[in-house]
Structure 1
């Protein structure tokens, strides 16, 4: 099958949507499909052979974060050229409602279109206001996927229609087989995320850290991600700052080793999350997970059965749970076992098969319509009474 995938966000800025698209493309190529991904990218960005650059992106505030998007006449021309050259059997557009390549592709594409909605934003006035502009493009979509029940709810409430829920995928064995790193082991709490993006929740974790260290002074917080490290610890007492180690951006291999090494992975995110791919990666690596009780996180963690939850933005609750878990190896082992079993439902072997079944449904439907020749006796026009049998 010839599959065209559209990424709305800049390829050179790491994010959950980009990782999902990358891993989906790798999975489909591994199964023998012909895949091309169209994505914004700076001129000097190293790209996999299957990624086609649509040009540079610009930063735009979007869903509580800053997304790097690509829009305009030049982008539209590149979209049309990619569609023309690709002759795809199916186009898979991610975030078609965002002002980027997804919407441009939705306007320009012909034939079967599958769209995946990642955003969870129950009070998006911008999405409601934009609906009259989006409607003609969205009506061209053949099938809709939402990565979680909360993304599906956002779609239903703001744009109408419905979607099948297919979660983000993870190569579970890649994380499960990673080798731990000795210097990241031993009373360590792990955090992965953009340091200076408030909704990722690092300030909540920093606020909880003094209480954690008061009970367990040997604990270290390991932070993987880009951002202003000095600003991140400026509210932490000076004598405690040595207990925080910033690792900067880490490679995929090192992220897997990081998650295999830490005693506890903490996700203190405060909102705007429709899924929680880092939770799935942490469970895949066997890390016990402690996360804020966002609806999406609770769903990923099986309502607390596969990982513990604390009240969102409550640093005291985070500290109390972290202290208890760090002092209870048996409970952490139980969470590892439950998480490792639960996470298999997110493996690409399952998620990829579900997505492929959607592709096959829309392409089979398009083939059936094409085969129904309108001027043949008994064809579509005949059934509408516009020609005689």
Structure 2
């Protein structure tokens, strides 16, 4: 199958530091190549991929030191490049929200669009109603709730390469928080849980410009005033095995409808259980009492974190391999692609191609003939 993967341009593929969508695209692309498919990746030139790369920008946007840049212009240029090559692919898989809809309306029947973000935004229903011909994939069932009437084709949970993370059979006595410093991620809850347990907390987190005030005025004083808390900043994939594998539990104390939560399966890959607030996708990812605990209050989270070290870390890793490997994700997407191809109308050849006899040695394509 000839498959195009079209990624956002904000982070490298995979990201050098923090980043979710581009990381998933990287792992999906490589897994599809390993399964024998012909995959083309449209991305910035700093992508590392086993697929054929079509570079559409010199580097990913966020870490580009250029002061003045336009993310809209970059993405429009990429979509133009994809459109010029549209006939080269059986399936074009977009990870760019809805920005491609007006460009590809005539080609919707050969596209799949995975939505990676939250969908409870005011202006979204009208977009997905207007361009209802585009088949959509959700990354959790819960993500669909704000748009129940959209053209959903499947839910495919994220996956990661099993070999990317080392299994850690024994933790080192601390709790971990990995993600963004933002109000909806509730790093304050993580600090409270660890403090009340009198247990060290390591925080590897990104501080976006939009969350700078929240960090400076609220979270930073909590970190600097607490000897139990160590803030290590952003980390890359090569650092995650040690960081997550050494933890007794990953704290995932969110307070918003998280569409998936990639860090949960990263922790499971290391054998580390997850203590997650029952919100958004977490009940679909965490198996309560097996790969972690689902909680509704800080008090419940404290009790869960105190007992997380008793869970079987080998079983946690085994569940990750079964449910959330990159290969498992790729096979589920292949089912989606196959369904798309089965729905596509048969393109009959013009009548002249059917009835006109071939002259000797004349080469003619019979693509499309029964």
TM range (shorter): 0.7 to 0.9
CA pair 258-75 structure 1, distance change in 2 beyond 3 A: closer
Q: Indicate which of 313, 317, 323 corresponds to 1:340.
A: 317
Q: Which of 119, 124, 129 lines up with 1:127 in the alignment?
A: 124
| Residues 178 and 317 (structure 1), Cα distance of their counterparts in 2 relative to 1, 3 Å cut | closer
Residues 1:117 and 1:165: Cα distance change in structure 2 (over 3 Å):
same
Matches of 1:15 and 1:374, distance apart in 2: 51
Q: Which residue of 2 aligns with 1:149?
A: 141
The 1-side partners of 2:294 and 2:81 are apart by 47
C-alpha displacement of 1:127? 1.1
Match of 2:204 among 224, 235, 255: 224
Post-superposition offset of 1:356: 1.4
Structure 1: gaps spanning 5 or more residues: 60-67, 214-218, 378-389
User: Structure 1's 301 and 262: CA in aligned 2 closer, same or farther, altered over 3 A?
Assistant: same
Q: Quickly say closer, same or farther: Cα 1:350–1:235, change in 2 above 3 A.
A: closer
> 1:170 aligned to 2:153?
no
Is residue 257–residue 279 contact of structure 2 (8 Å, CA) maintained in 1?
A: no
User: Is the Cα–Cα contact under 8 Å of residues 204 and 268 in structure 1 kept in the other structure?
Assistant: yes
Pair 1:109–1:161, CA change in 2 (3 A)? closer
Is 1:186 aligned with 2:172?
yes
Determine if contact 1:76/1:104 at 8 Å carries over to the other structure: no
When residues 129 and 165 of structure 1 are mapped into structure 2, their CA distance, relative to the original with a 3 A threshold, is closer
Q: 353-362 or 221-230, which moves further after superposition?
A: 221-230
Query: How many equivalent pairs are there?
Result: 332
Give the direction of change, closer, same or farther, for the CA distance of 1:76–1:55 in structure 2 (3 Å limit).
farther
Match of 1:382 in 2: none
TM-score in terms of structure 1 length: 0.73
Report the equivalent of 1:90.
91
SS at match of 2:76: helix
Report the CA distance between 1:57 and its aligned residue. Answer: 8.5
Normalising to structure 2: TM-score of the pair?
0.77
For the residues of structure 2 that align with 1:211 and 1:192, how far apart are their CA atoms?
19
Q: 1:325 aligns with which of 282, 288, 307?
A: 307
Partners of 1:108 and 1:358 in 2: how far apart? Answer: 20
Q: 1:230 to 1:250 in 2, by over 3 A?
A: same
Point out where structure 2 has 5 or more consecutive residues left out of the alignment.
Answer: 63-68, 355-370
**Compared with structure 1, are the counterparts of its residues 221 and 119 closer, same or farther at alpha carbon in structure 2 (3 Å cutoff)?**
same
Map 1:175-214 → 2, pairs under 5 A: 175=165, 177-178=166-167, 186-195=172-181, 197-213=182-198
Counterpart of 1:20 (choices 20, 24, 41) is 24
